[in-house]
Structure 1
Amino acid sequence: MSSSEQTNISASDKALITDLDQQIRSYVQEYGTRKDSELLDQAISDIRLYHENQKRKSGQPFIIHPLRVASYICRAGLDAPTVVAALLHDIIEDTSIIHDDIHERYGSWYADIVTGLTKIKKPESPKNLSADNLDATYQRMLKTMVQDVRALFIKLFDRLDNMRDMDAMPRDKQRRISLETLNIYVPIAERLGLTQICQEHTELCFKLLYPKRYQKTLLEIDELKKDRISTIKAMQESLQNNLEKQNLAFHNVEPLYVHPASRILESGPIDHILEGFRIVVKKSLDCFQALGIIHTNYSVIPLKIRDYISNPLWNGYEGIQTELRIEGEQTFIEIVSEEMLTKNQYGIMAHWSGSPTELADYYRIYLSQLDQMTGDKDVRMLDVMSYVQSDQVQVYSPKGDMLVFPQGATVLDFAYGIHTELGNHCIGALVNPSSVDTTKKRVPRERQLFTGEALKIITDPG
């Protein structure tokens, strides 16, 4: 930044810029290569130059935004190239820099990622302002995100930082961006197991969409928490004491409180604030030991036990869930290992190790299906929104591999989900195939899928 620009920056903003800069440099120096550090130096230099005279609506220097987004990427433990791309994510949209400039200075991967995250310019003629322009922007962004999931991580953290800084925006823009976030980014984050990011996006959206109701809900929750805190602590200590008596190597027992957003649209007063308790243990086997201990010491609610360790949910969630009576109250209990908790909160980020081929099957298939949709020019954004928001059907291949499809998907969708050629020649399927009496289980390719089924595709080579 120039000396004249520096004098217009407050001391607190200068300190924030310096702190973020140091955090990012330290992370890349520790986890990146020498080339990564060189590109990082160049990226920081470029955003200081090209965003020099730009301000956020809040009045802060614009450069704070890309620095913060990059710092979120560091905290998530992602790779150094993603950090550099996060710094550059707004440079085409908000400066004179173009795709070719990025390509020349950083390489094709950075150019494609940054261009893919850039809004398509509005046409000069008002006649051309239509859903098509918006669709094209979304289509390009989603296409980039599903082809390299790191672009999705950048976009989610970019949106999160913008949502946190939305108070300075006009009311109509707050509403538009909040609805866009709820309709597109939150469902995708949920499908990819990004629970923590999903929850914060949702809370921020409802806070902006229903500000008065949100504040009222917060006050009600705070008042109820004051009334209930002694009972909740007694329940928590009861669980801890029973686990400690058995010498279980557990990490902690933590209360799970309701989220304000989940209560905003409900009529009537809030009648409870405690969703249950989470027991965090060291290893997977400890989860079952903890289950045995609490089932021995408390009254168990029948038919409420769910083992998602042996059979994880479609979005990768793992853990054991049960319900007990503690201090006379019916109480939900979640039991997870430390590793499961990380995976449950960070989903695809916790699974991602640098290559799309190393993603869990569910994530790979989901992104592949989104990729197919965004690659079809006839598919409009409403179709994509319908897909990402839809309920899911969980089915299995004959080998036991899980595949997930939107509600209403057919046998033909299942075939294409496995391989294009299989879909091209699909004429039907065997449902829950076995060595006995398979003829009665043959179904046509138009037949809808149902959760829990195993299917074997029947093909016609001709």
Structure 2
Amino acid sequence: MQWNELKSHLRHLSSADHKRIQHAFELGKESHGEQKRKSGEPYFMHPIAVAHILADMGADSDTLIAALLHDTVEDTNLTLKEINKEFDGDVSALIDGVTKLEPEDVAAHPTMDEQIETLRKMFDLIENDVRVITIKLADRLHNMQTIEHLTPEKQRIMAQETMDIYVKIADRLSMQDMRDELEALCISILEKDRFSKLSAQQERNEQRSIRAVKVLGDKLDAHNPKLMDKTEMLYEAQSWGKISTQVNVGQKKVTGIPDMVIVFLCKEVSQCYQILGALHQTHPRETTSFQDFINAPMINGYRGLHTTIILEKGTRVRCKIRTEEMDEYAHFGIATHCFDNLAGGIMDYLLPWTGQISSLSKDTKMQSEAYWESLQNDILGESIVIHGTDDRHVLLPKGSSALDGAFYCYGNKALFIQSIQIDGIEVPFHTPLHNAVSLSVTTGKQKTVSLEWLHWISSGLATAMIRSSLAQLSGTKRRVIGKELLQNFLTAHKKGYIEEFNKQSLLDALQKVGYTSLNQAYEGIADGHLQPSDVYESLFAISKKGSKDIVTRIKTKICFTMNFDDYDSVTKTLDVYKCYGISLRSVRFRPFAMSRGNICVVHPFTPKEQQSISRDLEAAGVENVHVVAANSRMKFLFGAGFLLLVWGFDPAIAYHIIHEFDVSPVDLTLLRCWALTVLSGLTLLWQRMTKKDQYISIPIRNLSLWISVLLMICISLTSYIALQGTQPAHYSIPMTAAGILLTTIVNRKHWIVLIFTWLLLFIGVALVALFTPVWDLSSMIFMLLAVIAFSLFSVVSEAYKKEVNIGARAIQYFFALSLLCTILTAPLLLISTIDSLPREAIVEIVLFSVFIAGLPYYMYYSLLSYKQIDFVLRYSFLIIFTTILGQMLFAPSAPQVSGLTLVSGLIVTVGALLPIVFKKRTVEA
């Protein structure tokens, strides 16, 4: 195409504009030189074609110059500075707006994507100059029109991108013709067979509509000839989505699915309402089909009256009644206004949604995925209309909650909300909004906004306003809140303390989510920009060859309550299932009323999905959502029972080894230390070989650690010396009583109950100590020393773990304890007789050390949460009875368990149960 051919499309412009455009034409042609497109034609044919498309829309000279030069900055040596020098006006700004960012522009920011950031750049300019988008749409349209020269794979990629982004943009700008052509080109590539069926249906619709126009026109003319003299009737092709629905239902007549669309063009607005009245007087209509977009325009600025009438044989006709000006806007949208010299400020009244772009962009700065999600939801997604104050119509994204609606209707006043009413009835903040409801709020004088609100919203606008308010807290306070939230998340997933991670691992993980320091991340968590789950997934991502990082999915149980009479809630819940890949086979239902029931879903989720599905289900309208690890209760009860059983067997098996093989306490202690050192060392080595080493080493130069080691050696020696002259049950009763005593001292509440508990513990121990004739004094003394050493070890070791934050480094801690015990007990080799022990004795001692002495402590510290540990300690009285069982099974040579021993154990048990029973009654009260 040469200049004269393009010039023939510029009749709407002045001769001065022609000269400027011709200069741009020559500059573009010279700059692109010998560059070729994939088709082999000169590259400059593409910018000319884009300018041609825009010229037919009535584009101004700046827009056409920018179209001719829109690829020069990317593909030639021409710079924006040079273009700005050659052309005044907005040319360089328009070209910059459509120029893509390159990968190197965002390479330093892992959370930024060049494609999304290019979109951000373009959308950021819309509010001031929408012509940027029109150039980009024309550019994409021509690329799609000439797509056959790309490889099939590249065709599919471009078509999908066009469908996901540019078709939606065209729709948001009410550029119906542009939207329909782009969508048709996309479907013809993505679903070729489907497109053939849709095209055939479109042709049938057009043929049938020609007859329908005549029949309908004759009937209306007979009803009101004067009105019809001023009205023109035209066939309009339905959107491809509506045609697709038509094809799906076939020949059935279904409410809400019209067979065709007829447009009534009127001279003035009042005539539109007269036509509407005539249609309703002469034909039956679908009851809920009427929509008044003149009074309440669509989000894209479209105006008109819509209704669906029913002809003979059930034929449904969607009637769109518009003035000629409305009709032009329906087809060309914002292009009918944006090229005019008087176009300033048109966005405020035609496309008010553009006013949200700035806040969305600012809130998601350097977070490409978050920006894209907000863009899809708030700008490009479907919308609903609700009634706000003074019966004002408010447009907001479909799927919004009551809290979203409050921010759309009331702006910053929503930060002070105390309650929300829908149609006059107070509702929870997360209640889903439906079309045409009325929303009102009650506010107070103090801000009520909290981080929890972010769980109850889905719109980017509400998210931005809540985050902005939270960010007004002082930096120190936000850091404290953020650190606490991250620590709580790590604790819930048993990943230890923040202080345990080495600094580089943390920084690497934070950089992946767009943060450069811990304090910055804490503040991001506190104001809602960063989720603790994002940090968790970044920290614990497992890298696989040829793939992105993945995070382990955890089998999770989600329970909630649902009202099955609420069809909309049921539909949305099913959509949530589909979104997360939940099979209906994994859903369990337990009714408790005619239309209500409890639902339980078991499915593997990532930690981030565990957080998000709870919000999504609440947004769907379900209640009482609880997310827990699947089978966690059964696993815990099994683990706790196993732990108490093994602890109870410990003294019985030790007694057996001591007396069966005549093993000295020194030999048993030495072999135990060696076995545990090897076990914990191998476990630590395996852990570091199979997992990324993210944790710092535990501090060895700490007095509490060394005291713990000495006490551990003392416990071992005194316990085994005591077991030389004490039966296992007599050992277990005072040791268990000491543990219960420590627990009640730490959790001291309700002093009267505690005094009775301590009294019963003392009586139970005293009975077995004073009235057992076979218990010699030396054994009793060593038993007392073991109890004292155990009590001190419990206090000192816990102090050390709290002081240096031992959580995820439990294996390191076990290894350090075992190794130091081995080192400090080395002098005992001088009096050891290990070399004279039979092989089977050594084997039994090693097995005892690994499975009875070592494994329980690993389970206790590594696998149980603090809440679960408290549960185990409160029920530790069961150890007494498992020891009695162990004594009967493993130590037949021990004296028979006496009635006094059983009574003593029962008294200690009653003492242990008192605080538990009283606590439960207090909670119930």
CA gap of 1:284–1:426, structure 2 versus 1, over 3 A, is: same
Code of the aligned partner of 2:397: P
Greater shift, 151-160 or 378-387, is seen at 378-387
1:394 touches 1:451 (CA, 8 Å); kept in 2?
yes
Q: Distance in 2 between matches of 1:118 and 1:105?
A: 18
Change (3 A) 1:147 1:236: same
Aligned 1:9-408 pairs, distance under 5 A: 13-14=1-2, 18-24=4-10, 26-29=11-14, 34=16, 36-107=17-88, 109-123=90-104, 132-219=113-200, 222=203, 224=204, 229=207, 232-245=209-222, 246-248=225-227, 249-258=229-238, 262-263=242-243, 270-271=250-251, 274-332=259-317, 333-352=319-338, 353=340, 354-361=342-349, 363-364=351-352, 366-375=353-362, 376-381=364-369, 382-383=372-373, 384-395=375-386, 398=389, 401-408=392-399
In structure 2, give the amino acid aligned to 1:142.
Answer: F
Contact conserved, 1:362 with 1:402, CA < 8 A, in 2? no
Where structure 1 has 5 or more consecutive residues not aligned to the other structure, the ranges are: 1-12, 435-439
Please tell me whether the aligned partners of residues 86 and 154 of structure 1 are also in contact (alpha carbons under 8 angstroms): yes
Deviations 1:267-290 (A, max 9, x none): 768548942322222221122222
Letter in 1 for 2:345: T
- 1:151 CA displacement: 0.4
Higher relative contact order (CA 8 A, sep 6+): 1
SS of the equivalent of 1:348 reads: helix
For 1:54-89, what per-residue CA distance to the aligned partner results, in whole angstroms no more than 9, with x for missing partners? 222233322222222223222223433222222221
AA at the equivalent of 2:71: D
After TM superposition, the score normalised by the length of structure 2 is 0.42
For residues 88-128 of structure 1, the C-alpha deviation after alignment (integer angstroms, 9 at most, x for no partner) is: 21111121112222222224732222122111234499999
Give secondary structure in 2 for the equivalent of 1:277. Answer: strand
Q: 1:117 to 1:417 in 2, by over 3 A?
A: farther
Structure 1 residues 287, 214: CA separation in 2 closer, same or farther (over 3 Å shift)? same
Residue 13 of structure 2 aligns to a residue whose secondary structure is helix
Gapped runs of 5+ residues in structure 2? 253-257, 448-925
1:257: how far off? 4.2
> Which SS does the other structure have where 2:7 is aligned?
helix
CA distance in 1 between counterparts of 2:221 and 2:131 reads: 42
Checking the alignment, whether the CA contact within 8 Å between 1:70 and 1:87 is kept in structure 2 is: yes
In structure 1, what residue type is equivalent to 2:217? Q
Give, in whole Å, the separation in 1 of the partners of 2:122 and 2:386. Answer: 29
Q: Distance in 1 between matches of 2:286 and 2:404?
A: 39
CA distance in 2, matches of 1:340, 1:306: 15
Residues 1:126 and 1:288: Cα distance change in structure 2 (over 3 Å): closer
Taking a change above 3 Å as real, the CA distance of residues 158 and 124 of structure 1, as seen in their structure-2 partners, is closer
Contact 2:106 2:114 in 1 (8 A): no
Q: CA RMSD in A?
A: 3.8
Aligned mates of 1:380, 1:93 — CA distance in 2: 22
| CA contact 1:218–1:260 (8 Å) conserved in 2 | no
Inter-CA distance 84–400: structure 2 relative to 1 (3 Å threshold):
farther
Q: CA offsets per residue over residues 419-456 of structure 1, 9 Å max, x none? A: 9xx6288312786899xxxxx87889887765443557
Q: 1:215 to 1:37 in 2, by over 3 A?
A: same
Q: Which residue of 1 aligns with 2:520?
A: none
Change in CA separation of 1:134 and 1:287 when aligned onto 2, cut-off 3 Å = closer
CA distance in 2, matches of 1:251, 1:166: 41
Matched residue type, 2:215: S
Secondary structure of the 1:180 match is: helix
Separation in 1 of the partners of 2:405 and 2:249? 45
Which structure shows the higher helix fraction? 2
- The amino acid across from 2:300 in the alignment is N
Q: Which amino acid aligns with 2:383?
A: Q
Kindly tell me: are residues 399 and 70 of structure 1, through their superposed partners in 2, closer, same or farther at Cα, counting changes over 3 Å? farther
Report the AA paired with residue 297 of structure 1.
Answer: T
In structure 2, do the counterparts of structure 1 residues 122 and 254 end up closer, same or farther at CA, with 3 Å as the change threshold?
same
Distance in 1, matches of 2:240 and 2:68, equals: 32
Partner Cα distance (2:259, 2:400) in 1? 37
Q: Classify 1:389/1:93 alpha carbon distance in 2 versus 1 (closer, same or farther; 3 Å).
A: same
1:373/1:18 Cα in 2 relative to 1: closer, same or farther (>3 Å)? same
> Any conservation in 2 of the 1:189–1:197 contact (CA below 8 Å)?
yes
Secondary structure at the counterpart of residue 113 of structure 1: helix
**CA contact 1:429–1:443 (8 Å) conserved in 2:** no
Partner Cα distance (2:50, 2:442) in 1: 45
Task: Please state how far the C-alpha of 1:186 moved relative to its aligned partner.
Answer: 1.8
CA distance in 1, matches of 2:356, 2:92: 24
Aligned AA for 2:226? N
SS of structure 2 residue aligned to 1:328? helix
Maintained 8 Å contact 2:220/2:282: no
Say whether the 8 Å CA contact 1:351–1:359 is kept in structure 2: no
Question: Percent identity of the aligned residues?
Answer: 23
- The answer to whether the 8 Å contact 1:394/1:402 transfers is yes
AA aligned opposite 1:250: K
Residue matched to 2:417: 428
C-alpha displacement of 1:418: 8.0
Residue deviations 1:380-400 (CA, integer Å, cap 9, x gap):
243233444433243455355
Instruction: Give the direction of change, closer, same or farther, for the CA distance of 1:347–1:88 in structure 2 (3 Å limit).
Output: same
Q: Is the 8 A contact 1:410 1:446 kept in 2?
A: yes
Deviates more, 1:447-456 or 1:182-191: 447-456
For residues 394 and 310 of structure 1, the distance between their equivalents in structure 2, rounded to whole angstroms, comes to 12
**1:365-385, Cα deviation, whole Å (9 max, x unpaired):** x11222332343243243233
| Mapped partners of 2:105, 2:422: distance in 1 | 59
What is the alpha-carbon distance in structure 2 between the residues aligned to residue 461 and residue 128 of structure 1? 38
Distance across 2 between alignment mates of 1:269 and 1:443: 37
Query: Structure 1 residues 327, 144: CA separation in 2 closer, same or farther (over 3 Å shift)?
Result: same
Paired with 2:239 and 2:389, the residues of 1 have a C-alpha distance of: 40
1:4 aligned residue: none
**Residues 425 and 461, structure 1, Cα contact 8 Å, conserved in 2:** no
Is 182-191 or 408-417 further displaced after alignment? 408-417
The Cα shift of 1:185 comes to 1.8
Check the 8 A contact 1:428/1:442 in 2, yes or no.
Answer: no
- Pick which of 388-397 and 198-207 moved more: 388-397
Q: Would the aligned equivalents of 2:236 and 2:261 in 1 still touch at CA under 8 Å?
A: yes
1:91, 1:97 within 8 Å by CA — same for their partners in 2? yes
